[in-house]
Amino acid sequence: MTASSVRCDRNRMTAAHPSLPFGTKILITSLVNNRNVEVIVIDRFSSTTDRIVNVSYRAGLDLDLVESGIAKAGITIIEKPGQIFN
């Protein structure tokens, strides 16, 4: 189980972020290869690390970072829970 009480499934497009609200949709872009994925925040991790986001295995595959395990990335908030962007 994750901090949001959603069962973790490595094959779903999900992520963990230290402070964004659960349910936030974010676009993660690899600054190494410009691949990007849209994920939903369902978990937390310690903000004492130098990482900005942790992604599921599936998202990591799509970003082509499973081999390296870590990459420079940027995030863009697409939608926060209860918000509608026009």
What pLDDT does 35 receive? 96
SS3 57: helix
What's the pTM value of the predicted model, to 2 decimals? 0.86
pLDDT (0 to 100) of residue 55: 94
Residue 46: domain span: 14-79
Residue 36 maps to a domain = yes
Q: What is the pLDDT of residues 32-68, one digit of tens each?
A: 999 999 999 999 998 777 888 999 999 999 999 888 8
* CATH of residue 62: 2.40.40.10
Is residue 30 a part of any domain in this protein?
yes
- Residue 84 forms part of a structural domain: no
CB burial of 68-84 (b: ≥16 within 10 Å; e: otherwise) equals eeeeebebeeeeeeeee
Q: Does some domain include residue 5?
A: no
As for how many domains the chain has, the answer is 1
In a domain, 8, yes or no: no
CB 53 within 8 A of CB 28: yes
